[in-house]
Each structure stands twice: as structure tokens, then as C-alpha cells.
Structure 1
């Protein structure tokens, strides 16, 4: 089940969110993507995307974690108006750092692991690049697709993502729009990643279920994707969120400016052993 915060934990979380929001507002780079009609930078797609048709708002499937309502707002770069009817895929790891469809894959080695060194790697680690993106099971948690409404918004019910070696906490998303070619229905217009405020992640990763797997967290400043692929432009604004009949949690919103006619070049994965 999704973790429910106690009243005391929720108050602490509200304080942490308030501190994070203050930090974001002091950093213009955090909202660079919201500038009118300025295309949002791309981030690499990573090895864990699966082409599916899970059209749904709630992607949790009972995975434990802090509840997160995620709004992705799309603007049409050609008109500066909301981008209506675009398909938005999201996929992310769970609190333990595992992706559905790939939960039997071995974890990558830590960034500082030398396979030729005298020390043996921890059990469950392997040297070299991430395994080929072939699903090893049929689980579908934390994956889904929505179409943007008349305001250019999609909303997903998910959880705050966990972390795994080499990557900071993030949520992948892909924007697909109607194709100008009659040979295909849609094409990919944008590939990106959503990040949450660093100070908030430091706070949340110290509590269960996130701390249970005992993996050292990669900070944003240590993550080559965040540092080298304009991750600071995709830090979501976050607020505490509680409503009647729902668990206390967070609401995050991020804005992306997309050219629906574009077929952008894929961003090459950053060299190194860490998956995306």
C-alpha cells in the first residue's frame, strides 16, 4: 500500500516543502523551462522505457511511498498556447529503486567501482553498461499514459521516486503528438525527466520505505544526467497536498515547452555505468 503520513510526519513534511520552495524561488534556473515559447531541453530516455498503452491516471498499483500528484503542463512552442491532446508517458522506479518490467535485472556497479581492482563487487552488481532494455517480467507499476486536456495538462497519481546507484531521484516522461506523416500515427516530440527539490529529497530519503534498501543516494550535483542535461530547468514546484478521503502527500507541477512538429535527436546517454 502507499505509505500514509502521520499528522506529525505531515507537519514535518510541510515544513520541508516550504524550505524547498523558498530555495527554488531563489533560483531562476529552476523555472527556465517556463519562459514563454523557449523549448525545454531534452534529457536522455534511458534503458527502461516500455512501449505500452496503459492509459491511466493512477499508476501506483499499491507500491509503498509518499503519495505524489504530478502535473505535467505542456506548452506548444509554435503558438505559446496549451498543447492539447498530446500523449504523455511517464515511468519511474519505486521506493526501492526498481522499475517494473525490469525487476530481475542486476543493479549496475557503483560509479567508483573498479572491476579490475582487488575488491569484489557487492552481490547483485555487475560490471559494464546497463543490460539491454528487455523486460524480464510483466509487472507494470509506476507506468502510465495520459492525454493533455484543454489546458495542456496531464495529472498522474504516483509516489515520490526512490533512487538507485548513479542516478538521483527522477521521473521520466515522453511526449508523443500526431505525426505529419501518414505512415505513422504519432511521433516523439520530446523526452524529458522531472526532478524534485534536492533539500526535499534529502529529507524524504531518510524515512521508510526509501531508506530500507540502504543504497547510497546520488545527489543532484553528482548525477551526470542532471548536471549535463539541464536538469535544473526541470525541477518541479512542490506543495503539501491533503484532501478529504485521500492520503497526505505532495503535489508537484512542472512545465515543458514542446514543438509538436519536431522530431528531436535522441540525447546520447551520458558515458558511464549508471543507467537512466
Structure 2
């Protein structure tokens, strides 16, 4: 890109950021339905007016960049339905990708999503995931000994460790570096190309939780590549982020099996180390489902503003603007 073009883009972005508000309006909801979209986990919406492009498209600020996490697998499943055999609340994820500079939709961008199942297990990494049952497969062991020793030592060490603590999988909230897959499972992972209006849609299940993280979905946006017989190839990654769920919806999901069987302590949206606390700009989804009947299904929507000229892989080890300082060390 020429220096003149870069200058024009910078000036355009500056105007967009002044005008844009990142406001999401939940509209067209039938009686008895629930809609959540907020700037935090309280469920209270933000107020303000969004900027408008010449075509009337609502302008959005850049969606926050976050860490990729340790469990990304390069796109090799071009599909809309990523559920496979996973049980859980049906979830439809509808994302719109726009150029945050021009507010125009990005056509033929490849959007990845991946997330854990209802009990906190990631496909491809079942042996590393702690899961909701405390074990690699999410189910607590049934062969625990009943004759536990009674002569436990009383001289516990009193010193404070001075070494660097080990990093692990998502159970410890760490492990920002990529891990190599441990199995060939690929459920709850997939890629779709945006249509001419910038939309993609995935069918999946509402994700569960694991130790140290709130409920979330990972996402990437790739541009400049092309579809081949083996998947999407070439181009570059212009956005790496995470999608988040309002606390009220997570509490509703926790009443439904198999989520209700989880024995893992849950991290709230407020206590999460990754969620930047800035609402839709930070990846907070707008959720719609029927009140008292979340088990019937949830529709999650978000417009993501990205810069197609930038590269954001989520693996640079540094916190991104708008994200928490500890984001790069967690999954």
C-alpha cells in the first residue's frame, strides 16, 4: 500500500472511530423471548448513536484482538454445521464481517470458529482438556479407592516456590502457546466463507466452561486467500478474537443437562482475564432465546469490524489494544 493510501485509510479510520459507537440494538424479538447485549456482564445495554456510512450501514469500531489460545487447528473443515455428535443446547452463530474503515461487508473472507463442548472438552485435545468432570474426557473416575490412608504426613513444606510455575491447558487458565493436537477429533470446529453481505452462519452447541475461563468461542478472519480442494489457503489472518456470552444466559444454560452435571468451578465474565469489558466491541454476542426454554436453542449474533490490511494472528505474545494485560498468557 502506498504512503498516500495509508494516509487516506488512517484519516478515514479516525473519522469512523469518532463517529462509530459499537452499539448493538436487539430488535424484532417476540413476546416471551430474551435478548442480551451489554458492555459488561450485568446485562445492561449501552446508549449512544452509531456512525453511518453513505449507504446507511452502521459503522463499528475495530473488534478487539485477543490471544489465539493453545488449541487452534488450521482450517480444514469447510462446513456450516460443526456439531457432530456433541450434546448440548442448540446454538446458531451468525456473524457479519465488515471493514471497520469503510463499513462495507467483506465478501469471501474465511471465518473460523472453535470452542469446547458442554463439559469443557476441546476436540483434537481431549487428553489435555480438563473438562467439567475433572478428567481428560470430562467424566470423573469411578474407581477411586475407598481405603484412603489415615497416616497423612503432618510436616508439610513451608517454603515458597521460587521457580516459574508450569503452564498447562485451559484447566489452569494458562498455556497461551500453541499445543500440538493429541487426537484426530474435530467436532465444534469449522470454517465458512462470508457471502456478499459479509455474513456467515454456524450451527453448533452452546459451549460449556472449564477452570479459569468464562464461556467463550474462538474466532479468526482470513482474507486474500482462496478455496482449494483441501480447504482455504493463502492470504493472511486479519482478526483473531473471542466471542463472549452474557452472564444471565450462561446461568440459564447451567440449569440444563449436560451443563448441569459439570463439577468445575465457573469463572464469570467479570472475572475473566481475556474479556476486555467493552461490550460488542470486545466480542460480546447478542443472544436471543425463549425465556425459560433456553434448551430449545439460542441465536447469537455479532457484527465484527476488522482491518483487512492488518495481520493479527493472536500469537505475538502481547496484549492487544482493548484487551486485558494478562490476555496473552491465557487461553
Which TM-score band applies after superposition, normalised by the shorter structure? 0.7 to 0.9
Kept after mapping to 2: 8 A contact 1:221/1:227: no
Superposed counterparts of 1:70-219, under 5 Å: 70-105=93-128, 107=130, 128-130=166-168, 133-178=179-224, 185-219=234-268
SS in 2 for 1:50: coil
Residues 188, 232 of structure 1: alpha-carbon distance in 2 compared, 3 angstrom cutoff: closer
| Cα deviation code 1:212-271 (max 9, x no counterpart) | 131111101111101478787321111127xxxxx9311110111011111137363764
Give the superposed CA RMSD.
3.3
TM-score w.r.t. the length of structure 2 is: 0.63
Structure showing greater radius of gyration is 2
Q: Distance in 1 between matches of 2:238 and 2:282?
A: 18
TM-score w.r.t. the length of structure 1 is: 0.75
Kept after mapping to 1: 8 A contact 2:80/2:203: yes
Structure 1: 5+ residue runs without aligned partners?
1-13, 111-117, 120-126, 242-246
Residues 21, 36 of structure 1: alpha-carbon distance in 2 compared, 3 angstrom cutoff: closer
Superposed counterparts of 1:259-270, under 5 Å: 259-264=307-312, 266=314, 268=318
Kept after mapping to 2: 8 A contact 1:100/1:139: yes
Q: Match for residue 255 of structure 1?
A: 303
Is 1:68 aligned to residue 91 of structure 2? yes
Q: Distance in 2 between matches of 1:83 and 1:273?
A: 27
Kept after mapping to 1: 8 A contact 2:94/2:301: yes
Q: Aligned pair count?
A: 236
Out of 222, 232, 241, which is 2:271 matched to?
222
Is 1:47 aligned to residue 70 of structure 2? yes
Q: Match for residue 34 of structure 2?
A: 18
Q: Distance in 2 between matches of 1:48 and 1:129?
A: 14
